[in-house]
Amino acid sequence: MPSPLPSSPSASVLDLAPVVPVVVVTDAADAVPLARALVAGGLPAIEVTLRTPAALDAIRAIADEVPDAVVGAGTVLSPAQVTDSVTAGARFLVSPGWTDVLLDAMRASGVPFLPGVSTTSEVVTLLELGVREMKFFPAQAAGGTAYLKSLAGPLPQARFCPTGGIGPDSAPEYLALPNVGCVGGSWMLPGDAVAAKDWARVETLAREAAALRPSG
């Protein structure tokens, strides 16, 4: 049986782990061992970006063969990609930004989604539409922790998964913010490790990432 998403109305993919790996798969054959390494390291929510021809096959393989993973699709840009991703087995959707058309498609998909925002007006607009969970992208370039901290006072109901330029050194500062549920990043998937199929190294880096949330 696949790992369930949290069932509480206030819970979501943002609560599965402190870090959501952002995965670019160029060879679908790597998808299953890569996902198994991430899950073994404590990172069950895996965002496979739709940046390569192998992405949908990778999502399908992870959904079929790694039951403890919660695989999602990232870089979702169109209603067609929403449909293709969910058909392949994606259990959540992430976009770098949003339009009314894309938002409607994600709403209709039946799976959780994180539309991307980088401005206060975008956040307010989504809140008006009943969307409270968002991707903050590109996090570092768009103002980083200082920007998100400033949003927490007037817009406490918004929760974010910041992604973009975040690494193991900066992640704890983001995770300490009250309006951050998790962060997205790819530092636990260094190119040389993936190329060498060094899944043990990926698992070790994933385990370190899973331990980054500040205590207390």
Catalytic residue among 135, 173, 203, 208: 135
Apex 181 CA angle, 176 and 186, nearest 5: 90
Distances (CA, A) of 78 to 14, 82, 100, 103: 23, 6, 11, 9
Which residues does residue 119 pair with via DSSP β-bridges, in sequence order?
Answer: none
Is 135 one of the annotated active-site residues of the chain?
Answer: yes
Tell me, letter by letter, the H, E, C secondary structure of 118-183: CCHHHHHHHHHCCCCEEEECCCCCCCHHHHHHHHHCCCCCCEEEEECCCCCCCHHHHHCCCCECCE
> Can you state the angle between helices 79-88 and 100-108, rounded to 10 degrees?
20
d(CA 31, CA 65): 10
Catalytic positions, written as ranges: 47, 135
